[in-house]
Structure formats: structure tokens, C-alpha cells
Amino acid sequence: MSTLFAPKLPANGANIPALGLGTFRMRDDVCTQAVGAALEIGYRHIDTAVMYANEAAVGQAIAASSVPRSEIFLTTKVLPDEIGAGALQKSAEGSLKRLGLDFVDLLLIHWPNARIPLAESIEALCDVKKRGLARNIGVANFTIALVEEAVAIAGRHGEKLATNQCEYHPRFNQDPLIATCRKHGIAFVSYCPVGQGRIVDDPVIVGIAARLGRTPAQVVLRWHMQQPGVAAIPKSATPAHQAANLAIFDFALTDEDMQALSGLAVPNGRLVNPPFAPTWD
Ligand SMILES: NC(=O)c1ccc[n+]([C@@H]2O[C@H](COP(=O)([O-])OP(=O)(O)OC[C@H]3O[C@@H](n4cnc5c(N)ncnc54)[C@H](OP(=O)(O)O)[C@@H]3O)[C@@H](O)[C@H]2O)c1
């Protein structure tokens, strides 16, 4: 089987493979095996977090892989309670230790935290980048107002944000937030890009997939890829799903297909809404 690679998305100095592997809910050997298999078939972007308790497992897969470290784009995230001055830097150091790496390619604030001043968090994030622990910095689950504020603060420290990682799939419209990210050159990284696997039996998606001879998940991931400035990180521990999810760069959706998929959005389409979430847009 020939190896496929995702194209790279430029994002304020970062070069992010547009299709990466999510690792939420995978731990220990399952995680190491899944990440190793993904690297083997061409994934070059891996998404982890302190919250997932799998950084060590991800690090083991990277260490055991024949893929050079320089080809891998590794993202991790800081817990929302650890984004204060000093704590954030300590968290980054802990992540590197568990991962067995000298730097991560992208360090994110996993969730905003209204109890910690944003200026303090962003300054700490910029400090981690200046110290070389992270090549790029960004945020996740930031609203439009928070993105605007974070961009301004980072700018005062001479830095730019590479990404805002947020929930996005055809059932959940994020157009205004994506437009804000684009305006600032920030890549929008879609999490739950296949709606946690729940949208693959949608009749509209199934219909488009049947016409194109693709799987529903491939159609949905292709929909993400055809939106400027958007990347996606589907999680899969199933080898056939991993391979299919990456094999989406040799076909295209028509404008009508794109509109039909976007038309599936519903007002209550959000899947991830923990008690500590910000007041959403
Ligand atoms: N920043 C944040 O706050 C945040 C929040 C949530 C998630 N994330 C990140 O985003 C990643 C993706 O989100 P997610 O894991 O919640 O949801 P997701 O990627 O939308 O869905 C994963 C589910 O879909 C299934 N699946 C994957 N590919 C498939 C295919 N081709 N056909 C059928 N089913 C398929 C998977 O099962 P199999 O494993 O069997 O393939 C799994 O059950 C996470 O792993 C994590 O890295 C970030």
C-alpha cells in the first residue's frame, strides 16, 4: 500500500498537516499501538493532552517509530487549572518529560479559565515558546471574543497564535468563529470532526458517499479539508478507519455537496459542553 500524506496548512509560522490523529479516550498500549500504526501509514500530526493521560503512550509510539521526529507534528495541551503564570510552564515541562521529547510542535491552552487572567496565561504561553519548549502556541475552545483578546495579548509579546482547536462537524455550524480565525491567520482545527462517529449513518452523508464510492467518514473529513484554513483530527483506534480517514486527498466534493453537508447543522449540534466551558458564541 502506498503511503499517503496530508497537505500542510500554514498558520502564523506553523505548518500543520491538515489531517491528524486524535487520541482522546485511548490509553496505554491501545494508544501506543494506534499512534504507531498511524505513523506507519502516513499520519504526521498527532494530538494529545495532559487531560487524556496518554502522553507517555504517545511518546513511546514516537520513540519506537521509524518516522523521524522532524517529520512529526505533535500537539499537546495544558489543563485549564494549570494555565497560570509558572504553572503553565511547569505543565509544558511535565508534558515533554512524559512524551520523551525536547519540544512539542504546538502547545495549546486546552480550555479558557475565567478564574485566571487571560493576559497571564497568554504571557506564560509566549514564554514557553520563547524558551523553545514549544515551536508554536495556540488555544482551544476559545470563543470569538477570547480569540480577539488572546491575539491582542500575544501580539504585545511579539507572538502569534497558530490554532484554535474547537468542535466542528456538519451538525454544528462554526462559520463566525472560523471567519475570525481566518482573519488572524489562525488555523481552525476541528475536533470531533466525524461527530464522535455518530454522523456516519446520516442519510445525506450516506447518499453522497454512495455516489462517490467513498465512506461517509471520508466524505465528512473531505468537507473539512475543502474549507480554507481548516484542519481535522479524527480519532481512530481501528486500522481500517485510520487508513480510510487519511485517504481523502484524491477526490473532491462539489459545491452542492459542500452546501448539503453544511445544511445538516442543527441548533443543538454541540456534543462537547463540560461545566467548565466558556459562555459560547
Ligand atoms: N480540545 C478539546 O477540548 C477536544 C475535545 C474533544 C476532542 N479533542 C481531540 O479531537 C479528537 C477527535 O475527537 P473525538 O475523538 O472526540 O471524536 P471523532 O474523531 O469525531 O470520533 C471518534 C469516533 O469515531 C469513530 N471513527 C473514526 N473514524 C471512523 C470511520 N472512518 N468510520 C466510522 N467511525 C469512525 C471512532 O471509532 P474507532 O476508533 O473504532 O475508529 C471513534 O469512536 C480527539 O481524539 C482529541 O484528540 C479535543
Q: Using the atom order of ligand 1, give the atom closest to the CA of residue 169.
A: 20
Distance CA 93, CA 226 (A): 36
Domain spans of the chain, in order of start: 8-197+224-237
What are residue 234's phi and psi, to 5 degrees?
Answer: -60, 140
pLDDT at 3: 65
pLDDT at 4: 79
pLDDT in tens, the chain (281 residues): 456 799 999 999 999 999 999 999 999 999 999 999 999 999 999 999 999 999 999 999 999 999 999 999 999 999 999 999 999 999 999 999 999 999 999 999 999 999 999 999 999 999 999 999 999 999 999 999 999 999 999 999 999 999 999 999 999 999 999 999 999 999 999 999 999 999 999 999 999 999 999 999 999 999 999 999 999 999 999 999 999 999 999 999 999 999 999 999 999 999 999 999 999 99
- Which residue out of 43, 52, 168, 191 is catalytically annotated? 52
CATH topology of domain 8-197+224-237: TIM Barrel (3.20.20)
Tell me if residue 52 is catalytic.
Answer: yes
Question: Ligand 1 pocket by C-beta < 6 Å: which residues?
Answer: 22-24, 47, 110, 140-141, 165, 191-197, 200, 215, 217, 233-238, 241, 244-245, 272
pLDDT at 57: 98
C-alpha of residue 107 to centroid of ligand 1, in Å: 20
Which residue puts its alpha carbon closest to atom 47 of ligand 1?
A: 22
C-alpha of residue 235 to centroid of ligand 1, in Å: 3
Does the pTM surpass 0.95? The reply is yes
Distance CA 186, CA 177 (A): 11
Which residue in 76, 68, 69, 66 sits closest to 46, CA to CA? 76
Q: What is the largest CA-CA distance in the chain?
A: 54
